[in-house]
């Protein structure tokens, strides 16, 4: 019997010996789970339960033109708040003192409603109470004169654009994200949102278990940090001219949309970028969302004949042609498999020179040049001219375009159609920067909308090729289809373009993008400019719509 009791006792001790470590391990695991794995989460929840955090808006940086004039800014208003531990008068006295000084708003239209609004705010059970947003400087001064301790002001801001729709696509606008936070969208507001928005401030106060303020609790006040100003390269006077004439041109030629982009050749700085239809960023919600994107960087188009000067420049640079080289396949349409390459006017000119090819905008002559270059060289020059990648000019929603990047993959028909600007898709800013290479003595310079920046550049064309293609472009203006509209005394190197718009796998013969691109004065360029009109109805031809509009703007800029 004694032996049996001893065995039972030993069994119990053995069980206890086994279970104690197991229980200890379980406790360790649970402690690890609650303190390590769930610790940060629980700590945050605990903080939320006994802390009140109020966010204070930062002043958003201004957007300025090249001379420092305001394009987009923030109106300085004030947020009135109360820190109750410092208040030395009763809450009712405070309400009575503030009521006559608050100007009626959408929230309140009578003195009684203002008083009711103040009571609802001031009687809140919190150390720190937000009383009224968006007070004017005049209201702030009147309240300060009351000299009531516990009242304080924090600056807050409303975004505004003093020129309304001027430069709308360049600027973008400020709206709210999914969380209700202020955020810049499109244009400069979107691209430079982080720099412009600054850093928000915070007010932290402690509260007890039922939410009442702890008068001797922790109180932290972090001031907001202002956003950085952005000084753009935009010249407001040039921007005004571009938008004025673009509007007149769209109405005159009955186009559905249009762009004018003006660039400084040696620096790459965009001095104006006008697109219509546009919108007012002060009231962006009242306009169709289709208007928001900047078509200069976000829309692709087939450039058509304005692309020919780049292909010819490449051919001259590689010395596979000269201005006097004669085309041996220009006497008839060029047949490539089942495809027939024709001239735009159905006229065929045997043995025309390369200069005449550009002057007459001859597609068969361009096929001749492209074949001399070959697919690999052709693709190399596309890259050198900046196609197939974003320019990073400083505007949101830019796209890279669509070109054949591998020269080995060029089919004969692709090379032929690409030579006269068909079958490739580029943005207006890419096209402008590429042609600007000729204006800038053969050096490609990346476009930018910032004034104080040194942009990237690289050599593309030698001086001999630049001189030759410039002379050819001058003759294209003097003797081409648009010669009738060129003002006397204005020296221009340029090229017209009329590109059919691809629709559902084919080209619409009646819908075109009419364009003119060039630089002036031709031998010492001050500006490079692209004008494009979408679907003009008075005439589908660039020589009869975009070219006269281009000359009108150029003449005005040189006055």
Q: In this structure, are 193 and 327 located in the same domain? A: no
Domain containing residue 131: CATH number? 3.90.1310.10
Residues for the chain: how many in total? 559
Q: In this structure, are 246 and 364 located in the same domain? A: yes
Q: Is residue 226 part of a domain?
A: yes
- Domain of residue 316: give its range: 236-280+290-557
Interval 447-477: pLDDT, tens = 999 998 888 999 999 999 999 999 999 999 9
Question: What span, in angstroms and rounded, lies between the C-alpha atoms of 227 and 404?
Answer: 41
Question: What span, in angstroms and rounded, lies between the C-alpha atoms of 316 and 239?
Answer: 35
Q: Is residue 46 part of a domain?
A: no
pLDDT of residue 501: 84
pLDDT of residue 453: 84
Q: In this structure, are 263 and 216 located in the same domain? A: no
pLDDT of residue 483: 86
Q: In this structure, are 376 and 519 located in the same domain? A: yes
Which tokens in the block code for residue 103?
């100007």
Domain containing residue 393: CATH number? 3.40.710.10
Percentage helix, strand, coil for the chain under 3-state DSSP, each rounded to 5: 40, 25, 35
Q: Is residue 22 part of a domain?
A: no
Which residues are 336's β-sheet partners? 339
pLDDT of residue 272: 97
Low-confidence spans in the chain with pLDDT less than 70: 1-14, 16, 18-19, 29, 31-55, 105-109, 203-222, 504-505
Q: In this structure, are 260 and 227 located in the same domain? A: no
Q: Is residue 1 part of a domain?
A: no
pLDDT of residue 122: 85
Helices assigned H by DSSP within 145-270: 168-171, 187-191, 193-197, 236-253
Q: Is residue 504 part of a domain?
A: yes
pLDDT of residue 542: 92
Q: Is residue 477 part of a domain?
A: yes
Question: What span, in angstroms and rounded, lies between the C-alpha atoms of 527 and 389?
Answer: 24
Q: Is residue 300 part of a domain?
A: yes
To which H or E segment does residue 548 belong?
Answer: helix 546-557
Q: How many helices (H) and strands (E) does the chain have?
A: 17, 19
> Final residue of a domain: which of 231, 246, 271?
231
Q: In this structure, are 216 and 247 located in the same domain? A: no
Number of domains in the chain: 2
Q: In this structure, are 225 and 252 located in the same domain? A: no
> Final residue of a domain: which of 210, 231, 252?
231
Helix (H, G, I), strand (E, B) or coil at 2: helix
Q: What is the 3-state secondary structure (H, E, C) of 89-118?
A: CCHHHHHHHHHHHCCCCCCCCCHHHHHHHH
Q: In this structure, are 198 and 243 located in the same domain? A: no
pLDDT of residue 4: 55
DSSP character at residue 227? P
pLDDT of residue 54: 63
Helix (H, G, I), strand (E, B) or coil at 483: helix
Degrees to nearest 5, angle at CA 384 with 378 and 388? 80
pLDDT of residue 552: 95
Q: In this structure, are 182 and 272 located in the same domain? A: no
> Final residue of a domain: which of 163, 196, 231?
231
Q: In this structure, are 199 and 182 located in the same domain? A: yes
Q: In this structure, are 414 and 515 located in the same domain? A: yes
Q: In this structure, are 348 and 255 located in the same domain? A: yes
Q: Is residue 453 part of a domain?
A: yes
């Amino acid at each position: 019997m004694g032996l049996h009791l001893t065995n039972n006792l030993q069994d119990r001790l053995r069980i206890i010996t086994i279970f104690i470590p197991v229980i200890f391990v379980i406790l360790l695991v649970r402690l690890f789970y609650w303190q390590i794995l769930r610790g940060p989460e629980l700590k945050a929840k605990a903080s939320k339960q006994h802390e009140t955090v109020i966010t204070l808006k930062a002043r958003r940086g201004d957007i300025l033109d090249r001379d420092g004039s305001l394009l987009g800014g923030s109106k300085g208003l004030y947020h009135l708040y109360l820190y109750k531990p410092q208040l030395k008068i009763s809450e009712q006295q405070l309400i009575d003192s503030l009521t006559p000084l608050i100007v009626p708003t959408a929230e309140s239209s009578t003195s009684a409603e203002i008083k009711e609004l103040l009571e609802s705010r001031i009687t809140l059970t919190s150390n720190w109470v937000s009383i009224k947003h968006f007070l004017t400087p005049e209201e702030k001064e009147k309240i300060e004169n009351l000299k009531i301790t516990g009242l304080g002001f924090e600056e807050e801001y409303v975004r505004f654009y003093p020129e309304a729709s001027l430069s709308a696509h360049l600027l973008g606008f400020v709206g709210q994200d999914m969380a209700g936070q202020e955020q810049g969208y499109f244009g400069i507001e979107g691209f430079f949102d982080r720099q412009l928005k600054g850093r928000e401030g915070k007010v932290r106060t402690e509260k007890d278990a039922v939410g009442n303020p702890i008068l001797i609790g922790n109180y932290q006040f972090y001031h907001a940090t202002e956003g950085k100003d952005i000084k753009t390269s935009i010249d407001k006077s040039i921007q005004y001219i571009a938008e004025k004439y673009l509007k007149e041109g769209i109405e005159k030629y009955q186009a559905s949309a249009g762009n004018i982009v003006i660039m400084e050749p040696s620096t790459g700085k965009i001095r104006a970028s006008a697109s219509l239809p546009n919108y007012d960023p002060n009231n962006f919600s009242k306009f169709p969302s289709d208007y928001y994107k900047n078509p200069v960087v976000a829309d692709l188009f087939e450039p058509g004949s304005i692309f020919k000067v780049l292909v010819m420049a490449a051919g001259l640079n590689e010395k596979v042609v000269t201005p006097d080289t004669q085309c041996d396949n220009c006497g008839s349409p060029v047949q490539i498999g089942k495809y027939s390459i024709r001239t735009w006017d159905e006229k065929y000119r045997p043995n025309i020179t390369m200069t005449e090819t550009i002057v007459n905008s001859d597609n068969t002559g361009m096929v001749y040049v492209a074949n001399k270059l070959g697919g690999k060289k052709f693709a190399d020059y596309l890259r050198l001219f900046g196609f197939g990648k974003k320019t990073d000019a400083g505007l949101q929603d830019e796209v890279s375009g669509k070109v054949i990047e591998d020269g080995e993959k060029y089919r004969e028909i692709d090379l032929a159609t690409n030579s006269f600007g068909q079958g490739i898709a580029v943005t207006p800013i890419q096209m402008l920067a590429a042609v600007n290479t000729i204006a800038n003595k053969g050096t490609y310079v990346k476009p930018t909308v910032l004034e104080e920046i040194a942009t990237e550049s690289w050599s593309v064309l030698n001086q001999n090729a630049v001189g030759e293609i410039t002379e050819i472009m001058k003759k294209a203006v003097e003797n081409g289809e648009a010669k009738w509209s060129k003002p006397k005394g204005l020296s221009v190197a340029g090229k017209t373009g009329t590109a059919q718009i691809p629709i559902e796998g084919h080209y619409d013969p009646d819908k075109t993008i009419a364009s003119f691109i060039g630089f002036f004065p031709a031998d010492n360029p001050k500006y490079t400019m692209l004008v494009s009109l979408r679907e003009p109805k008075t005439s589908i031809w660039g020589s009869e719509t975009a070219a006269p509009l281009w000359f009108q703007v150029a003449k005005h800029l040189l006055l």
